[in-house]
Amino acid sequence: MTAQITLSIRLNMVKRTSIFRLIAVLLFLYAAAGTPATAQSHTDLPRVLVIATGGTIAGEQGEPGTLGGYEIRKPVNEIVAQVPELRRYAQVETEQFSNIPSALMTPDQWLLLARRINTVFEKRSDLAGVVVTHGTDRLEETAYFLHLTVRSDRPVVLVGAQRPPTGISPDGPINLLAGVRVAAAHDSRGKGAVVVMDDRIISARDAQKFFARSGGFSAQEMGIIGVVARHGVEYFYAPTRRHSTMSEFDVRELTSLPRVDIQYSYAGADGAGKTDAKAIIVATTGLSGTERAYYESLQRRGVVIATTFPSGDHVASPNTARDSFPIIAVKRMLPTHARILMMLALTKTQDVREIQRIFDQY
């Protein structure tokens, strides 16, 4: 009886040892196979080019824990290196376009940036998309210009930071990560340029900075078109106005843009200010032409006039049929965005009816 018990124990020990050895062998084989598989999976990830222009996201050497005192000079390779999680979603390449506060961004630089992105897309069929890091003061303007002038269905994503890297809880790294995920996502194709801030995807046509803190970007009544969620990039809507591949604007040969100014209509305004502008966007809460003397004063200078609400939230009826008093009606567009569209429209035509057609379609 004792011998039988001893034999049973020994058999159980042999079985357990065999099982443990089998598990060890399987774990070894899994680990050995897992290393090259992980490396290979990274090479299979989409390629995304990050082009840096400067802004708060490139700030450094500010007073620790504060939101001020920093200098905009951090190079793009360091910005990307501070977000190692990017390797989970894309093969990231970098390029330094400029390193300036966005308040110094000019229309001439818009032309250079659009030309560069168009060239990259023409030469690099392997790129899934482009991310542009940018200061938030002019981010929405640059985004809309690229929305109209980059002739590719691949995404152009603009990201920035409201809190500098030297401050507590900076938002630049998470915005960059979200932007790269959007640029790498196949569903981002055909959406034109977008602004990605705080995990929200906003069409460049409707993007607006409301305040200088986290959550400061919105699209007002137009709404966001998607989100960057834990499980992936998800879209709910798509822009319906013309952009990117549907755009008629080709800036490849342009070296400058026509000057367009913005004026506010206010109590006592007479339109008497001097300007060399080819057109003026009038930000007004009327949009009715009842301020006749004001508009006639502007038109005597031979400029094209367009009107929009300061907030961009309005749909007006055009009155370009009145030859003696034509005014372009801008529909649901910020004055800054209307200025950009007018600049591009004037590179095509001076006819007010044709300009109205452009504003109706874009």
Which residues are catalytic, by number?
56
Query: Given the structure tokens 């003026």, which residue do they identify?
Result: 280
- The partner residues of 260 in beta bridges, in order of sequence, read 279
| 184's tokens | 């790498």
Q: How far, in Å, CA of 222 to CA of 290, rounded?
A: 28
**Contact call for residues 282 and 292 (beta carbons, < 8 A):** no
| 111's tokens | 């032309």
Q: Ramachandran region of residue 54, left (φ > 0), alpha (ψ -120 to 50) or beta? A: left
Whole-Å CA distances, 292 to 98, 154, 312 = 44, 45, 22
Q: How far, in Å, CA of 204 to CA of 197, rounded?
A: 12
Query: Given the structure tokens 């009816």, which residue do they identify?
Result: 353
- Half-sphere exposure of 29 toward its Cβ, with a 13 Å CA cutoff? 6
Q: Report, in this order, helix, strand and coil percent for the chain, each rounded to 5.
A: 40, 20, 40
Which DSSP letter does residue 220 get? G
CA 349 to chain centre: 28
Whole-Å CA distances, 232 to 60, 86, 213, 229 = 31, 14, 25, 5
Residue 235 burial (CB count, 10 A): 16
CA proximity to 172, closest of 58, 20, 286, 23: 58
